[in-house]
Each structure stands twice: as structure tokens, then as C-alpha cells.
Amino acid sequence: MPDQEFPRPSARSYRPDRDDEDPPPWANMPPVRPTRPRHLAGAANPSGSGRPAGDAQPGGPSGRISPEYPQWDEPETDGDPDTPPAQPPGSRGPGGRALRAAARRRRRWFIMAGTLVVVAGAVLSVVLLAANRPGPATVTPGTLITTFQPGELQQVPSACSAVPGGTVQQYLPGKAKVASPLPVDGSAESACNWTVDQPPVYRLMELNLLAYAPNGLASGDGSATFAAIDAYQLALQDMQTPPKHSPAPPATVRTLSGFGNQAFSAMQVFRVGGAVTDVATVVVRYHNVVVTVTLNGLAHSNRGSYGPVSQSQLASAALAFAQAAEASLH
């Protein structure tokens, strides 16, 4: 807003040569114009004249009056004392304290989040290791075997064709009926049953071949062979000490040698409802394959005329079938 001068009554209306009276008090006084406050005027013009330095004075050479601004329309300047100077980062002013407090909160949050991640990872590792621990066996992480090793089998031959026909005729007198149950594990398992029911002879021969795969729950290094070893040991234990409430009686166990990596034979006598059945069992482990042969001979029954049964003949027949099945694995 330009400065305005408010004219006073012109001094030219009074002339000493024409009027005898004294001049009025406002005669020959300078014109009145609004001025800025002293603190703003001093900032704009150090001389304190109320106008920026270099403005033309009334009646000066330019003959122009420089504009001046009221307090509410003053242009902003870098030297305005009302504008606080910017504080550098890390200063001790109120703004600096807020920034430092926010930075501390962020650091605490990152530290807490990192700690939670580490704790969660440690707990998850302990849970996974505990879930994969196979009881008494010790398993070291990173040493488990997950693939088949040399000598291990991924599939087994057909159980019904594993025993030659001459062996069947020799140890199962009469006309045997052959039945092949559906496989449970595809080519990794095969089973076959031979049945003779011609009084006084009743025989049921069961042959099962099962190839075990690597298993993280197995003992040792978790390989397929260790899985088969665990299965063999469990079968032997159940024969010697049947589980509680099991109808199976303790067996007479004998260790066998000369074929397979491990082998044993067992003889049990079942008495149920007056009937007596002698059962001969042979279990052989060859690498990761377990061969199980069970021969039932009815020694006495409540109906019909069956028996007697020779336990030695039952044991010999079971052993012959087990040897033939184990030979088919080579």
C-alpha cells in the first residue's frame, strides 16, 4: 500500500507581505504521512528515517515518493526478527528434543521386534527337533539320510512267485489255494497266502516282503536300513515279550544265521476256546527289506478232525519259505 500524504491547509493562503497577522501554527509544516513501527523501520533503514534507504525525498531529484508498507502488509525478509531461525538437527531446542525422543522410540521398537524374531526362531527350532526325535535314538540335525543308499531296495518281487512251486508242494501237502492280498505300499510291499484245508491237515502259510524307505523317525541316521532294523527289533521284542493285553503268548525264540543280515525263528502255541494252534514264525532282514513268514498248523479243533501237528515240521517249512523269499532279493 503506497504511502499517502495528508495535505494540511496550504501555507500559501497566508503571505506575510499581505497579512498583518502572525502565521498560524500549522503554516510551513511538512506534510504528514503514516510511518512504520520503529522496530520495522530500523530493520529496513538503519538510519531510522522511516523509509527504505535510497528512497527519494519529496522535492528530490526524482520528484517521486517511494511507497511504504503498513505493518500488516510488510513484505517478508530474511532479517525479520519475528521469524525464528531454523534450528540445526540435534539442537537442544524443543523441536530437537522431540526428534531425539522419536528416534529413541524407533530404536526401541526395532530392538524389540528383532528380539521377538530371534526368540520365535529358537522356539520353532526346538519344537521341530523334538517332534522329529525317535524316542531313545539320537538324531543330529544335518546328518539324516533322505535317499536310498547302495544295496537298498526300493521295490520287492512278487511274494507268490518268490517261492518255487516245488518248495510249496514239499512243505504244504495236498492242494494249496493261493491268495494274494492287495499290496499296502505298492511295489515296496508284497504278500501271498497259501491255504490247505483237508482234514486232518489245516495249514495257513503267510509270506510278506516289505522294503523300508528313509525315515526321519528311524534310529541312527534315519536311512532305509535303520528303519528296517527298527522294524526287525520290534518284531523280535513282541515275540519275546508280547504287549500287555495281547492274546499272543510269549514265544520260544532262536537266532538264525547263514542268510540275510539278521534272522530269528519263533514258536508259539495259541489256545482259544478249546482249539489249539501252533504257529511257527521266521523273520529275516536283508538291508532295508524285512521278510516275515508265518505258518499256522491246527493241532486241535472243536469241530472236525484236525491234528496232530509237528512243531519241527512247521519250523522247517517256515524256514524254507523264508530262505526262498530272501534269495529272490539278490
Same domain, 44 and 88: no
pLDDT at 59: 43
pLDDT at 53: 44
Q: How far is CA 292 from CA 207, 209, 256, 268, 314, in A?
A: 6, 7, 14, 15, 15
Same domain, 118 and 218: no
Burial of 148 (0-12, 13-18, 19+ CB in 10 A): middle
Please tell me the total count of domains within the chain.
3
Residue 140 lies in a domain: no
pLDDT at 1: 47
- DSSP bridge pairs for 202: 197
Separation of alpha carbons 51 and 257, rounded Å: 123
pTM: 0.57
- H or E element at residue 294: strand 289-300
| Sheet hosting strand 201-211, strand order edge to edge | 177-179, 189-198, 201-211, 289-300, 275-286, 262-272, 252-255
pLDDT at 23: 57
Same domain, 210 and 316: yes
Taking only the tens of pLDDT, the chain with its 330 residues reads: 445 444 544 444 445 555 445 555 555 555 555 555 554 444 444 444 444 444 444 444 444 444 444 444 444 444 444 444 555 544 455 556 777 777 777 777 767 777 766 666 665 655 455 445 544 444 455 579 999 999 999 999 999 999 999 999 999 978 899 998 766 567 899 999 999 999 999 999 999 999 999 999 999 999 999 999 999 999 999 999 998 888 899 999 999 999 999 999 999 999 988 899 999 999 999 999 999 999 999 999 877 789 999 999 999 999 999 999 999 999
Same domain, 230 and 251: yes
Residues 6+ away with beta carbon under 8 Å from 87: 93, 95, 96
Residue 251 lies in a domain: yes
Mode of pairing for the β-strands spanning 262-272 and 201-211: unpaired
Same domain, 224 and 315: yes
Residue 280 lies in a domain: yes
Instruction: Give CA angle at 18 (15, 23), nearest 5°.
Output: 45
**H helix intervals, 52-197:** 94-131, 159-162, 165-171
Residue 319 lies in a domain: yes
Same domain, 296 and 247: yes
Residue 246 lies in a domain: yes
pLDDT at 176: 92
Same domain, 312 and 249: yes
Dihedral, CA of residue 307, residue 312, residue 317 and residue 322, to nearest 10: 140
pLDDT at 49: 45
Residue 146 lies in a domain: no
- In this structure, are residues 321 and 293 in contact, taking their beta carbons and an 8 Å threshold? yes
Residue 52 lies in a domain: yes
Residue 1 lies in a domain: yes
pLDDT at 31: 57
Same domain, 177 and 314: yes
Same domain, 102 and 172: no
pLDDT at 147: 95
Domain limits at 18? 1-83
Same domain, 79 and 112: no
Same domain, 104 and 190: no
pLDDT at 54: 43
pLDDT at 99: 75
Same domain, 193 and 293: yes
